[in-house]
Amino acid sequence: METLEELINSIGEPDEAARRAAQTRWDAIAKPLGSLGLLESAVADIAALRGDADVHFAKRTLVVFCADNGVVRQGVTQCGSEVTARVAAALAEGRSTVSLMARAAGCEVLPADMGMLDFPGHPGVLDLRVQNGTGDISQGPAMTREACLRAVLAGAALAKRLAREGTDVLLLGEMGIGNTTTAAAVTAALLSLSLEAVCGRGAGLSDAGLARKRQAVARALACNTPDPADAIDVLAKVGGLDIAALCGAFLGAASARVPAVIDGVISAAAALCACRLCPRARAAMLASHVSSEPAAAVLLETLKLRAPISAQMHLGEGSGAVALLPLLDLALSVYRSGQSFDKLGIAAYVPQN
C-alpha cells in the first residue's frame, strides 16, 4: 500500500482548458447563459478534473464506510451501537433507505466495514476492518495514529480501485452510531468553533441528550488536545474510523481524477481533513446538500463549495449524495444534447454588462 506522502504527491491540478471547453459548450446551448447555475458549474468542475469536456456518469458507486464509536457510552445517541451492524447488513441486502434511493438513481451501493463493534462479517459488506470500534473520545483518543493512517489509506485504496474498475462518480457516505459526535469534535478542533456551532441533534436527540453530546465533545477536546494543524492527529484523537476512511477516499478519488460527492456533515468534516492534508483534493469534490446539522453550512463555506440541495436532510448513509445524481443527470441531458441556438432558429445570448 502506498504511503500518505505518495498519495498526496499523486494528486494533480485541474485542467483549466477542459473547464473552459465545458463552459463554451454550455454557452452554445439554446438557453440563457448560466441559467442552470450550480449544475453548470458542477459539470465544468468535473470536466476540469477529468481533463475532458465529454462528461458522463455511466457508472456511479456509493461507498458507505461503517464503524462504531466508543463515545456512544456517554449517552450521546438515541440508540445503541448494535444498530450500525444492522444497517450495514440492510445496505448489503439492498433494504436500507439509501439503497432504495440509489436504485432509483442507478447507483451501486457498497458498504465497507472499517471497525463495527464485534461485527462477524456479512455477505456484501466489504471487510476493511482496522480495529474493533474506537475508544471513547471523551476519555482518551479514538485510536492510535497508526490505526488512523491505516483507515485513511484503506479508504484511498478503495476509491482508486473503484476508479480503475470504471466508476465515473464516487459518492461517499457513512454509517456509525455516534458519528455526529465525532464529526462535531473534528470540526470544532479544525475550525475552533463553539460547541453550539458544531453539535446538533443527530438522529433525534432530546435536550438532555444534546447537552450530554456537547459535554462529551468538550471533554474530548480538553483531554486529547488535538493539533488543528495536523489533520491526522485530529482524526486519531477525536474522530472515527469511518471519518478517517472517508478522508482517504476523497484523496484517492482526487488522485484517480474521479469526482467525489460529499454527503452530509460527517462526510464534509472528512472532506475538510482531506483538504488540510492536500488542498488540491478539493478539485475532486462536489457538494450535494446542506445538512440540517449546524456545522454543515460552515464546513461547506470553509471548503468554498456550494450545494445545490437545501432540503433539511439529516439521514446519512450517503442519501444526500444520491439525491444529487438525478439533478446531474438532468443537467447532462441538456449539456450533451447539442441543442444549439441555430437549431432552434433564435439569436444566441451574449454576456450583458
d(Cα 26, Cα 35) in Å, to the nearest integer? 10
Tell whether the torsion through CA atoms of 150, 134, 175 and 269 is positive or negative. negative
Q: What is the DSSP letter of 142?
A: S
d(Cα 270, Cα 277) in Å, to the nearest integer? 11
Dig out the grid coordinates for 31 from the structure. Answer: 438557453
Between strands 107-115 and 126-127, the pairing is parallel
Spatial contact of 323 and 315, defined as CB atoms under 8 Å apart: no
Spatial contact of 74 and 138, defined as CB atoms under 8 Å apart: yes
d(Cα 315, Cα 117) in Å, to the nearest integer? 21
The answer to whether residue 317 is catalytic is yes
- DSSP H helical segments within the chain, as ranges? 4-9, 16-27, 37-50, 82-93, 97-104, 145-164, 179-191, 195-198, 207-224, 231-238, 241-256, 265-277, 295-303, 319-335, 341-344
d(Cα 70, Cα 135) in Å, to the nearest integer? 5
Catalytic site residue from 40, 174, 293, 317: 317
d(Cα 326, Cα 305) in Å, to the nearest integer? 19
Task: List residues bridging with 66 in a β-sheet.
Answer: 113, 175
d(Cα 57, Cα 322) in Å, to the nearest integer? 13
**Active-site residue list:** 317
